[in-house]
Structure 1
Amino acid sequence: MLANRKSRSLTSSIILLAVAYIFLIWLPLSRLHKYQLYHPRPTPILNSHLSSPNAIHLNLSSERFPVTSYTPLPTQPSPIPRIQYDFPPESKRERKQRVKRQKAVKEAFMHSWNGYKSHAWMRDEVSPNSGRYVDSFSGWGATLVDSLDALVIMGLDKELHIALEALEHIDFTTTFSRDVNVFEIIIRYMGGLLAAHDLTEGKYPILLKKAVELGEMIFNCFDTHNRMPQMRWEWSRSAEGEEIQPSERMALAELGSFSVEFTRLTQITGDPKYFDAVQRITNELESSQNATRIPGLWPVWVNADRLKFDSSDFSLGGCADSAYEYLPKEHILLGAQTDQYRDMYNNAMDAIKDNMLFRIMTKDESQKVLFTADVWSSKGGGMHSVQYVQDHLKCFLGGMVGIGAKVFDREEDMAIARGLTDGCIWAYDQMPSGIMPEIMKVSACEDIDDCPWDENRWYREVMAKPVNTPAEREKAQEVVELEGIPPGILSLRDPTYKLRPEALESVFIMYRITGDKSLQDAAWRMFQNIDKATRTKYGHSAIQDVRTSVSEHSDKMESFWLAETLKYLYLIFSEPDLISLDEYVLSTEAHPFKRPSGYI
């Protein structure tokens, strides 16, 4: 009996030891697996065309129209008025809530970043529903490079090092694209590299090396008869020594949005050619500013070949936006060494107030919600046609006007900055999804200071005809309900949401300027709605219709979702000294460049 008990005891002990061994082995492996899901070494999805021995490469070559004398870069910065609010210490409750919100934003970032790493590493974008990839911007890894500084800001050091290793394999001297979208390449790639270089204080030489490599390639788009760029650049013609022409129809934003990135590249490297290139553009914009059909403003479309600015369409939305945005930002980055950008901004802002700014009619008459119109002007400026439309892309304006009010001593514009920001918050809050549409037509107040709600007028404008009888009113109500049109809005010309950052950009800037914590609450509300509507298996997707709480996804996640939208949200819930507006200039792609206190 004793022997049998010993045998059973020994057997039981062996089984227990085996179970314990398996458990002890499995536990760390499971934890390691979880950790590796967070920090995997992704497998690059390479393009065989770029590694082909027959691929064309654009290496250093002689310019057809060389510059003989470069414009010097200012080197002695002057004081600029303080931008940021002097934040008091936060309470424990405030800190707890802020950190909780910040962690939620960071989790959303990692969800999308991991989807990109797993399914589109070193390609431009992941398709967040299907798990495929898309090359929209020359196939150099747009999401990877655009997100570099966000990884630094969020303290994702392991992810940053994985990304830095991948940079070694990106070859900016060749691409499968027939032409290169210069604007997008500069703001996404150049911006991401330079900002990460600034934020890490030059610790990683690969960042500047790649920025210079890209700069050397892109600079060839300026090799034209008047040194104006070709924006859909036929790069292979340049590689083969053939002449290229400046674009005859170019978006104003494309022409006017090199300055911050190229200036910073010159500041860091000491190579004057980049600043010289953008200064030539600035001089042309300055000389033409008061000779357009609406003096002070530039048309949306310009002819860079003949340097003509006589088109009739004027807007602050897509194709024009960042040309205006860069006026105060370049002034700051140059250390206020010239009045050129101040004068251009003042002229533009005065023209915006006179020709574009309007208030929307809302049920809550205490709300002073401001937007800007699109204007068509006849030759000679004798006749204007105004469209009261609001694009999501215009939502950057609140932040721009706020910064301009501070650095150019235009304090009277601060109320406009807040009204423009509140307008975009209002547009988010009106939709069933809690998300603003891409483009909407709205009801404009006749008087910006006195604007009572007039429901009959709203119905009349929705229907674009008189609404006088009960039957006509009932029909208007049916249209409003069927179309999902909130009060004050007339139609949704484009009901999509493309993961855009502009509204949150202005919320961030105005929060940093005013210290108003209600802006943090608005941002949290916006984030929760966006995250709920756009989250997919492999990231976050643009949606088709903001008028429904459950919208169809479009399987599109552009790099700016990580580089801008989530970065602005993270910064809204950060301590205010993280990327202080008194220490950094944020590019149109939200890349922070170090402000000069004396150039490097």
Structure 2
Amino acid sequence: MISNRKGRSLTTTILFLLVAYFFLVWLPLHQLFSHKAQPTAIEKQWHRLNNIHINNSIERFPVTSYIPLPTSPVSIPRIQHDFPVESRRERKARLKKRETIKQTFLHAWSGYKDHAWMRDEVSPSSGRYDDSFSGWGATLVDSLDALVIMGLDDEFEIALDALKRIDFTTTPSSYVNVFEIVIRYMGGMIAAHDLTDGKHPILLQKAVELGEMIYNAFDTHNRMPQMRWEWSESAQNLEIQPGEVTNLAELASLTVEFTRLTQLTGDPKYYDAVQRITDVLEKNQQETRLPGLWPTIVDADHLWFDNAEFTLGGCADSAYEYLPKEHILLGAQTDQYRNMYTDAIEAIKKHMLFRPMLKDQDKQILFTSNLVVNRGGSVHQERFLQEHLKCFLGGTVGIAAKIFNRTEDMSIARELTDGCIWSYDVMPTGIMPEAMEVAACDDKDNCPFDDAKWYEGVWGDQLKTDSERHQVQKLIKHERLPAGVTVLRDSAYKLRPEALESIFIMYRITGDKSLQDAAWRMFKNIDKATRTKFGHSSIEDVRDSEPQLSDKMESFWLAETLKYLYLIFSEPSHISLDDYVLSTEAHPFKRPSGGF
């Protein structure tokens, strides 16, 4: 009996010591080194505008009858390619590349988390921070769905904990950029909600909190939003006006996010708000100086669309991108967006597409020009300008070609995408600049390279003497202009995603592995040129082998550029284009499949 008691006593002692070790030693150490440990928030040295919060403001121009949301989606043609089963060797190589991209994401995410947590952006070279978009933690919120997509569950939990502490009813900013706030913040929260099947109520709660705030920007005499919204005026129940100078893209690119918010909440006001904008755009689409297209700048106060400048680049891009995407998100229950897209693409094909004059290029490529148009429709000025922001167009045309059965446009989608790939490959660093002008072909079907014409494009006039030709040759050498490029309007690279966006979409549509090869080539060149101690930085000149860093890393580097790269090397079923609509900020929203 005594020996048994001793055995039990020894066992009890050992058990006690193990329990004590667990609570006193192992558990604290585990918590200390756990990835779920909440980072230290960078203190906000804000002086709030009289500590104003926009709660329960009174609408001056309330809506009395909401435009109803379509709720019975119908079949839409399949978008994605029917991919064959890959070999074990192909899978191993693909996953190795994807893992490299994931580690690159974690490098930049860690820099943000350690040095700018809950601020908008980390300064990737200096380790400082910047609040560019209302100070609500733009990188944190914009990256939520990327964390889910890449399977970074611990990091996602940390971000969710931080999200609970963000107050979307006030900001230190004097105005709110409605477009940027909606696509980065609201888009990030809605997508994370959709990707996790609503398992985290805080995501939709915060999306609604932000939606309630932003909805006040629509409280104007004509229900067009004030895009640079003086939010404190609304908070004090003062009247606000829509802008007489409003970017087309900002006004026309809220539909997908607001529609999805109505679908998820059942609150009709969000869809109603953006549908009113669409109705105005549709009404004026054939009344502009270039029927079918809208000018880059519009007067949202008087609903005038008489500006002379037209582009598919900055200030206009996502207005056209959202036409087929909103059609998909609405379940094809209205032909409005189909018809608007049809009118737009026909005008683009007629007036804007051009073939650049290139040397030693084995693929046909396309770019789009910028136009200045007189009243009556005659073109006053045409600039053959290739911009990085235009590189979304290949993917948009590809999606529209599939869902609208416009098979004749698929070659255009591919040639636009290949044009952006060329724009990367032709530069010394393998990185495309923000904007460059090129020599255009007079005949798109017969366009041999002509040195004399290229020289005249660089010079800006006819060359009359040998001295002028010699000066042009010196200028080309000094400016390091690739053959066919006449001037670099902006030689910077700002970590933009648009070219990779179109590569991702066209790869998912065609299954062409050469697109993966192009994406990998681009990734390696970008990573080499932009990597810093705390992330990745925009660079000043894509011609420099060791470019100057601008110490700027916008949230879309994580939310879009690296996400698209990750998806290009993921299984085609991962975020399938037949299951999701990706917003202009690359946030995947669930497509309706039979009611909401």
Tell me if structure 1 keeps the 8 A contact 2:309–2:370.
yes
- Equivalent residue runs for 1:69-218 within 5 Å: 69-218=65-214
SS in 1 for 2:313: coil
Q: Distance in 2 between matches of 1:420 and 1:49?
A: 45
Q: Distance in 1 between matches of 2:567 and 2:32?
A: 27
Structure 2 length as normaliser, TM-score? 0.93
Q: Distance in 1 between matches of 2:378 and 2:350?
A: 15
SS in 2 for 1:436: coil
Q: State the partner residue of 1:591.
A: 587
Residues 73 and 446 of structure 1: CA distance in aligned 2, closer, same or farther (over 3 Å): same
Tell me if structure 1 keeps the 8 A contact 2:31–2:37.
no
- Aligned pairs, how many? 570
Deviation digits for residues 274-295 of structure 1 (CA, Å, limit 9, x no counterpart): 0000110000000000000000
Q: State the partner residue of 1:9.
A: none
Tell me if structure 2 keeps the 8 A contact 1:268–1:599.
no
Deviation digits for residues 452-472 of structure 1 (CA, Å, limit 9, x no counterpart): 111221112111233465544
2:244 equivalent to 1:248: yes
Alignment partner for residue 367 of structure 1, among 356, 363, 368? Answer: 363
Deviation digits for residues 47-76 of structure 1 (CA, Å, limit 9, x no counterpart): 2437x7951000022211000000110010
CA-based RMSD: 1.7
Tell me if structure 2 keeps the 8 A contact 1:87–1:576.
yes
SS in 1 for 2:262: helix
- Equivalent residue runs for 1:353-364 within 5 Å: 353-364=349-360
2:240 equivalent to 1:258: no
Q: Percent identity?
A: 68
Tell me if structure 2 keeps the 8 A contact 1:365–1:451.
no
Tell me if structure 2 keeps the 8 A contact 1:365–1:452.
no
Deviation digits for residues 331-363 of structure 1 (CA, Å, limit 9, x no counterpart): 000000000000000000000001100011111
Q: State the partner residue of 2:410.
A: 414
Q: State the partner residue of 2:38.
A: 41
Q: State the partner residue of 1:548.
A: 544
Offset at 1:366?
3.2
Tell me if structure 1 keeps the 8 A contact 2:49–2:172.
no
Q: Distance in 1 between matches of 2:239 and 2:232?
A: 10
Residues 225 and 433 of structure 1: CA distance in aligned 2, closer, same or farther (over 3 Å): same
Q: State the partner residue of 1:20.
A: none
Q: Partner letter of residue 203 of structure 1? A: K
SS in 2 for 1:404: helix
Q: Distance in 2 between matches of 1:251 and 1:427?
A: 26
Offset at 1:384?
3.2
Q: State the partner residue of 1:453.
A: 449
Q: Partner letter of residue 89 of structure 2? A: R
Q: Distance in 1 between matches of 2:243 and 2:403?
A: 34
Q: State the partner residue of 1:301.
A: 297
2:383 equivalent to 1:380: no
Q: Distance in 2 between matches of 1:562 and 1:405?
A: 29
Q: Distance in 2 between matches of 1:482 and 1:86?
A: 48
- Equivalent residue runs for 1:391-402 within 5 Å: 391-402=387-398
Offset at 1:93?
1.4
2:224 equivalent to 1:228: yes
Q: Partner letter of residue 545 of structure 2? A: S
Question: Structure 1: 5+ residue runs without aligned partners?
Answer: 1-27
Q: State the partner residue of 2:423.
A: 427
Q: State the partner residue of 1:575.
A: 571
Q: State the partner residue of 2:555.
A: 559
Deviation digits for residues 173-205 of structure 1 (CA, Å, limit 9, x no counterpart): 000000000000000000000000000000000
Q: Partner letter of residue 128 of structure 1? A: P
Q: Distance in 1 between matches of 2:388 and 2:379?
A: 27
Q: Partner letter of residue 41 of structure 1? A: Q
Q: Partner letter of residue 220 of structure 2? A: T
SS in 2 for 1:385: strand
Residues 288 and 388 of structure 1: CA distance in aligned 2, closer, same or farther (over 3 Å): same
Tell me if structure 2 keeps the 8 A contact 1:499–1:542.
yes
Alignment partner for residue 336 of structure 1, among 332, 337, 356? Answer: 332
Q: Partner letter of residue 524 of structure 1? A: W
2:288 equivalent to 1:292: yes
Q: Partner letter of residue 437 of structure 1? A: P
Q: Partner letter of residue 574 of structure 2? A: L
Q: State the partner residue of 1:11.
A: none
Q: Distance in 2 between matches of 1:94 and 1:449?
A: 38
Q: State the partner residue of 2:273.
A: 277
Q: Distance in 2 between matches of 1:231 and 1:54?
A: 23
2:56 equivalent to 1:60: yes
Residues 177 and 53 of structure 1: CA distance in aligned 2, closer, same or farther (over 3 Å): closer
Q: Partner letter of residue 62 of structure 1? A: I
Structure 1 length as normaliser, TM-score? 0.93
Q: Partner letter of residue 75 of structure 2? A: P
Deviation digits for residues 18-44 of structure 1 (CA, Å, limit 9, x no counterpart): xxxxxxxxxx99x979965x6653101
2:253 equivalent to 1:268: no
Q: Distance in 1 between matches of 2:66 and 2:461?
A: 59
Q: Partner letter of residue 296 of structure 2? A: V
Q: Partner letter of residue 47 of structure 1? A: K
Offset at 1:473?
3.4
Q: Distance in 1 between matches of 2:571 and 2:244?
A: 46
Residues 389 and 32 of structure 1: CA distance in aligned 2, closer, same or farther (over 3 Å): farther
2:507 equivalent to 1:486: no
2:530 equivalent to 1:513: no
Tell me if structure 1 keeps the 8 A contact 2:176–2:230.
yes
Q: Distance in 2 between matches of 1:495 and 1:35?
A: 43
Offset at 1:364?
2.6
Q: Partner letter of residue 43 of structure 2? A: L
SS in 2 for 1:390: strand
SS in 2 for 1:68: coil
